[in-house]
């Protein structure tokens, strides 16, 4: 059993449950008073991390799509929304890696953890090429409406340097390399188990252990580790490499659950307790750090504390303007993406070279004999960038999309490996590439030139250039 979630009235509990050994996980509902268990989902897929939505439906994470992950070729998990009885499940996220742990927020959206692996489509390292290049691996927090519209980053992208000891690379002061894992070129962050506090902040588990994140602040400066407890901020390389836990006097914390104000229930293991019975249940004050033991079975680890009490269910608020009227239009099958300016970016590149935006899509290819080959890349279109940096494109819905910026000879100036998608009929826009969240276009700014004409079509057609893999590997093949 995993992922218990109590209903707003405190009378039922959703769980991911494996009814019998060898079977997949299904979403089940437990009646608190009687202990009756009712199976809600079925099939050959694993359905986990269920939660109740304010409108009575449920959301969960599932590998029922049947596709394989972009990097490891494990079954991909995405978020699904279904009726209260588990019927009519519909996929609402389309990341080709892993999405899990959905949680309804007070603004009406679903917070979730999203695993992202960058630079595995023939691009080499994300931040630089050649020796010393870095590939990012991140599990970040994102949010999306239950319809799948308005998917957005919340926290975690590019924050590996905050948690991992870094050193400057000799080829440029903007690049950094991790010194934590000697001989490795991966730099990233893992953020999960997020819960919303009464004041709108989030408490979660990050590389520094229990961490409070304020999503209203700049994503580059919004995290406060409650205790710098694990590898990176509590002893650096020696703790990890030699597995010495005595440099971590705080211990380990997991599965936070807010109970009101600054108080959270947590599972905690003191630094001196290892093994399968290390964790007990504690009440922790995030403001003072005071920790009070609630329950500890000396023979078992006690995790996932969940108070079985009714909780107020406020109607969703602060939805994006117009979101209440957004509905999936399957008859359309496409959506549009408007970039107000590709020049409005914190990335360092020669903006004078940019002439085109290349639109790329990732496609499932099934099991490969080579690692890191679960998807291939299709070039959908190469379209001109307006003089003011704006672009408007129509792309296929429910398809992982990413972009390149090209020069006049169609050489790559910036390679973007962050995937995004649109739902059928959705219109998405951003102020630029990598802009701080919440920043609006400047007042009085002229209408972007690209919006004065119909969108360029970036849709699959016969004869598209399709490639897969990385240079120098046996599965680097170009198809027409």
- List, in order, residues 6 or more apart from 449 with CB less than 8 Å away: 386, 387, 388, 390
pLDDT of residue 412: 86
> What is the DSSP secondary structure assignment for residue 60, as one 8-state letter?
E
Domain ranges of the chain: 328-479
CB atoms within 10 A of CB 441: 16
What is the average per-residue pLDDT within 148-164? 84
Summarize pLDDT for 359-388 with one digit per residue, the tens: 999 887 766 555 556 678 899 999 999 999
- Give the separation between CA 167 and CA 170, rounded to whole angstroms: 9
pLDDT confidence tier of residue 474, bands split at 50, 70 and 90 = very low
Give the tens place of pLDDT for each residue, 64-118.
988 877 766 788 899 999 999 999 999 999 988 899 999 999 888 999 999 987 6
DSSP 3-state of 401: strand
Task: Strand 427-430: give its sheet, edge to edge.
Answer: 427-430, 334-339, 391-396, 456-457
Q: HSE, CB side, 13 Å, CA atoms: give it for residue 108.
A: 15
Quote the mean pLDDT of the chain: 80
Cα 317 to its chain centre, rounded Å, is 23
The encoded tokens of residue 121 equal 């489509």
pLDDT in tens, 278-306: 899 999 999 988 999 999 999 999 999 99
Residues 114 and 285: their CA atoms lie apart, in Å, by: 28
pLDDT digits (tens, 9 = 90+) for 398-430: 999 989 899 999 988 888 778 899 999 999 988
Residue 185 has what pLDDT?
56
pLDDT tens readout for residues 315-344: 555 454 444 445 666 667 999 999 999 998
Q: What is the mean pLDDT of residues 120-132?
A: 46
């Amino acid at each position: 059993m995993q992922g218990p979630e109590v209903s707003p009235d405190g009378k039922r509990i959703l769980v991911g449950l494996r009814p019998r050994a060898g079977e997949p996980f299904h979403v089940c509902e437990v009646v608190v008073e009687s202990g009756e268990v009712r199976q809600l989902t079925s099939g050959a897929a694993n359905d986990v991390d269920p939660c109740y939505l304010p409108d009575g439906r449920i959301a969960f994470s599932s590998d029922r799509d049947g596709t394989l992950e972009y990097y490891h070729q494990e079954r991909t998990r995405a978020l699904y929304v279904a009726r209260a009885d588990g019927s009519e499940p519909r996929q609402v996220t389309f990341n080709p890696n892993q999405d899990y742990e959905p949680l309804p927020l007070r603004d009406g959206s679903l917070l979730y953890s999203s695993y992202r692996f960058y630079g595995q489509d023939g691009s080499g390292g994300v931040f630089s090429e050649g020796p010393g290049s870095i590939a990012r691996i991140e599990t970040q927090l994102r949010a999306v409406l239950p319809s799948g519209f308005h998917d957005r980053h919340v926290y975690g992208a590019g924050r590996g340097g905050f948690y991992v000891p870094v050193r400057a690379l000799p080829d440029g002061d903007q690049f950094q390399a991790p010194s934590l894992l000697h001989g490795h070129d991966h730099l990233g962050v893992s953020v999960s188990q997020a819960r919303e506090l009464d004041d709108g902040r989030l408490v979660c588990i990050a590389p520094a252990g229990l961490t409070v994140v304020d999503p209203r602040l700049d994503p580059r400066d919004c995290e406060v580790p409650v205790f710098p407890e694990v590898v990176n901020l509590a002893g650096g390389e020696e703790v990890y490499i030699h597995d010495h836990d005595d440099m971590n006097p705080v211990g380990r914390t997991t599965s936070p659950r807010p109970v009101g104000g600054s108080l959270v229930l947590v599972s905690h293991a003191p630094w001196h307790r290892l093994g399968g019975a290390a964790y007990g249940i504690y009440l922790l004050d995030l403001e003072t750090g005071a920790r009070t033991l609630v329950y500890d079975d000396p023979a078992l680890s006690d995790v996932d504390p969940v108070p079985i009490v009714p909780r107020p269910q406020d109607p969703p608020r602060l939805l994006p303007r117009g979101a209440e009227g957004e509905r999936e239009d399957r008859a359309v099958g496409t959506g549009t993406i408007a970039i107000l300016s590709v020049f409005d970016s914190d990335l360092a590149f020669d903006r004078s070279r940019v002439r085109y935006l290349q639109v790329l899509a990732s496609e499932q290819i099934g099991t490969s004999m080579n690692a890191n080959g679960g998807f291939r890349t299709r070039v959908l279109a190469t379209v001109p960038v307006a003089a003011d940096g704006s672009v408007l494109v129509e792309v296929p819905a429910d398809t992982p999309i990413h972009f390149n910026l090209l020069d006049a000879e169609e050489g790559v100036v910036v390679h973007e490996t962050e995937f995004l998608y649109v739902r059928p009929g959705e219109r998405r826009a951003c102020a630029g590439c990598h802009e701080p969240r919440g920043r609006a276009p400047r007042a009085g700014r002229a209408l972007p030139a690209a919006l004065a004409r119909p969108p360029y079509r970036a849709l699959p057609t016969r004869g598209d250039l399709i490639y897969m893999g990385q240079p120098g590997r046996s599965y680097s093949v170009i198809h027409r």
